[in-house]
Structure 1
Amino acid sequence: MGLLTFSINVTLDGCIDHQEGIADDETHAFFTHLMDEAGAMLWGRTTYEMMESYWPAVASGNVEAPPAMREWAVKLEAKPKYVVSSTRSDFPWTNSHHIAGDLLAGIQTLKDATANGVLLGSGKLATELDRLDLIDEYKLLVHPRIAGHGPTLYESGLPGTRRLELISAKPLRNGAIALHYRRALT
């Protein structure tokens, strides 16, 4: 069984708006490495649609992009992508698959079938999966910014506090810090 790892860009005040992070070669290399390690990507519908609207065009060369972004896009094109949605069932982007029905059973089946683990990149979906005790690790890229607005991590709340064990903390040259946490054994 593979691990479910939640990874996202976040500002110091908890904002997860994708436009608030530092989008440079170092950041893209960080997320490309995470994607390389994972067996599949997992998103909610909103994140999928945001990704689908841009990255396939970068991968095909129809959009100008720096080499680090193009590398990310090409690898993302080939990576299995799973989408949780109750409002959409057609996901035409290459290697995209729909997860419908019982969320706990669907994600547990995905974890069981993906030995290299699943990389989750959607804030709202992370809240729902954390409520179901399905997230095993957290790899957050904390940016040296205070956004002063949302959306924020876990803004709709969790039933209780999650205790985490720090695995590593690595500063990047751009001032962001890559944090790796694992759920603490209680």
Structure 2
Amino acid sequence: MRNLIYAINTTLDGCCDHTKFYPDEETFAYFIQLTRDADTFLYGRKTYELMVPYWPDIAKDPAERANPDYEFAQAFDAVNKIIVFSQSLNSSEEEKTSIVSTGLRDEVLKLKQEQGKNILTGGVSIPTQLAELGLIDEYHLVVHPIVIGEGRRLFEGINLQEKLQLKLVESTVFKSGTILLRYVKQ
């Protein structure tokens, strides 16, 4: 069975709004490797629209090769499948993107049974729903040593039926003071 991994950058105060801060080189390298180890992304509409067409466009533009984001764009563009859970998005121009409007639990359980690499999710809304359903296998929280005081928060509005028990299996301190915390579901 494939693992569903929730990976996100956050601040000490739980802000995960990408417009409020930018990951350093070492953090970016971590996300590049994590992306290479996946072949499917699960997103909500908002996260999807932040990621596509931005990353595929960088990956396909030879002029972007000098851009430090180019390597991540290449890894992102190499992923086989993007599943977008949305009530408002009807279609996508990306041929590897599927829009799903119902059945989050069933769709994810089906994906986890397929052969392949890891499944990655990011953002706030869909991962919160996945956590509520107990479908996330690993949580990769990359905590940056800053306090923002505003913006979207990690697990904002989560409604758990029972406490989510996690086990810390890895912690890595990057040169910048950013800390990777990797938890698995118990």
TM over 0.5: yes
Q: Which runs of 5+ in 1 are unaligned?
A: none
How high is the TM-score relative to the length of structure 2?
0.90
Aligned pairs for 1:3-82 (under 5 A) are: 3-61=3-61, 64=64, 66-79=66-79, 80-82=81-83
Q: Secondary structure at the match of 1:82?
A: strand
- Percent identical pairs in the alignment equals 34
User: Conserved in 2, the CA contact under 8 Å of 1:39 and 1:114?
Assistant: no
User: Conserved in 1, the CA contact under 8 Å of 2:132 and 2:158?
Assistant: no
Distance in 1, matches of 2:22 and 2:185, equals 27
Q: 1:72-125: per-residue Cα shift (whole Å, max 9, x none)?
A: 111211212221111112122252222332111011111111432201112111
Distance in 2, matches of 1:47 and 1:28, equals 18
Q: Which letter does structure 2 place at the counterpart of 1:81? A: I
Distance in 2, matches of 1:9 and 1:34, equals 13
1:68, distance to aligned residue in structure 2 (A): 4.2
CA RMSD for the aligned pairs? 1.8
Aligned pairs for 1:24-173 (under 5 A) are: 24-61=24-61, 64=64, 66-79=66-79, 80-159=81-160, 160-173=162-175
Distance in 1, matches of 2:179 and 2:144, equals 7
Q: Which letter does structure 2 place at the counterpart of 1:11? A: T
How high is the TM-score relative to the length of structure 1?
0.90
Consecutive aligned runs of 4 or more in structure 1 exceeding 3 Å deviation:
62-68
Q: Secondary structure at the match of 2:170?
A: strand
Q: Secondary structure at the match of 2:14?
A: coil
The number of aligned residues is 184
Distance in 2, matches of 1:124 and 1:63, equals 34
Bigger drift between 60-69 and 34-43 goes to 60-69
Q: Secondary structure at the match of 2:69?
A: helix
Q: 1:12-37: per-residue Cα shift (whole Å, max 9, x none)?
A: 00001012333332222111111111
Q: Secondary structure at the match of 2:107?
A: helix
1:163, distance to aligned residue in structure 2 (A): 1.5
Distance in 1, matches of 2:115 and 2:15, equals 30
Distance in 2, matches of 1:21 and 1:163, equals 29
